Amino acid sequence: MTTGIKKMNSSLIRWIFCSLIVSFLFAFPPLTVNAYEILMGTGESGSFSHFAGKNICRLISMDRELSCKTISAPDTTHNLTNLRSGSLDIALVDSQMLRDALTNSGYFKFLDINYDNLRSLAVLYTVPIVLVARNDAKISTLDDVKGKRINAGAPLSLQHLAAETIMGAKGWTKKDFSLVENLPTNQSQETLAFSSGTTQAILHIGVHPDPMLQGLLKRTKAKLIDMDDPDIEKLVGEDGAFTKATIPAGTYPTTPEEVNTFGTQVILVTSKDLDDATAGSILQAILENKETLKKAHPSLSPVRASDTSKLKGEIQPHPVVNR
């Protein structure tokens, strides 16, 4: 009698175990063996571009017909050229660099490369350009920077490009400043020069809140300067690479009020060769998971490229964008 009960219990356990396995397999079907691999170009490892790209790749890979892999690159030129040639399927690209590539201007002026086959998919986030000034520099507006000691960033960097853009909009040259340094941001040289007073103003380019910037503001009691300036307003109105940006009040301890500024947008770019089905699946994965991205970082607020991108004259949206 006891032996019979044991056998019955053993059979029941095996039946339950098999049922659970079958249910699991039906609930979570295996990835398609021939899933199409999407190669996404981002900024260098450790950059916000790379962070954003990895989060977007996870969403794309939820589609069982697709898998996604990020490829970090040292600069935007690398990503744009590989997009053009088909070595990448999609890439995160700064709107100013994209505009320059499409119009053969700026850093792309002497490159004999045609980027006409590029197409936009989505605007992913805004990158504000923020003026940071020492508390003892007597700088309250953008015009107050004239005659001061500034760091314009390392040559060919986004910071240097932004400094040149602002100086051009204001009609300034290096002679209008008592000192113009070209210190990089990634080797502590800029921070040391600013903290010691060698420079009085710097440009911060990046999303907010930024722990590194918060640390600098706390150590130096520096402040963010509002760039609600008529010349900047004109620049934003005439140049599709730029957009208005706002740093909310209270983002940093030394920023009790809202700070108005401007910046660029990071756009998810592909080529016209990416088929509609794949492009549509990528766009759907992003737009249907906006809240997930926003939880990863508050600056991630993707929209269709046709909704807010000001580069309509320079780059066409992929056909799926307007469907």
How many whole angstroms separate alpha carbon 267 and alpha carbon 120?
7
Q: What's this model's pTM, rounded to 2 decimal places? A: 0.85
Mean pLDDT by 10 residues, the chain (323 residues): 46 49 43 75 95 97 94 92 96 94 88 91 96 97 98 92 97 98 90 97 96 94 96 94 94 93 96 96 96 95 75 80 87
Q: Which of 303, 312, 297, 306 is CA-nearest to residue 51?
A: 297
Four-way CATH pick for 36-125+266-322: 2.40.37.10, 3.10.20.30, 3.40.190.10, 3.50.50.60: 3.40.190.10
Query: pLDDT tens across 55-95, in order?
Result: 999 999 998 899 999 999 988 899 999 999 999 999 999 99
Decide if 36-125+266-322 and 128-264 have a common fold: yes
CATH H-level superfamily of 128-264: Periplasmic binding protein-like II (3.40.190.10)
Query: pLDDT tens across 174-226, in order?
Result: 999 999 999 998 778 999 999 999 999 999 999 999 999 999 999 999 999 99
CA dihedral 274, 278, 281, 282 (to 10 degrees): -40
The domain ranges of the chain are 36-125+266-322, 128-264
How many whole angstroms separate alpha carbon 167 and alpha carbon 182?
14
pLDDT of residue 96: 92
Strands 118-133 and 303-304: antiparallel
CA dihedral 60, 244, 159, 292 (to 10 degrees): -20
DSSP string, 3-20: HHHHHHHHHHHHHHHHHH
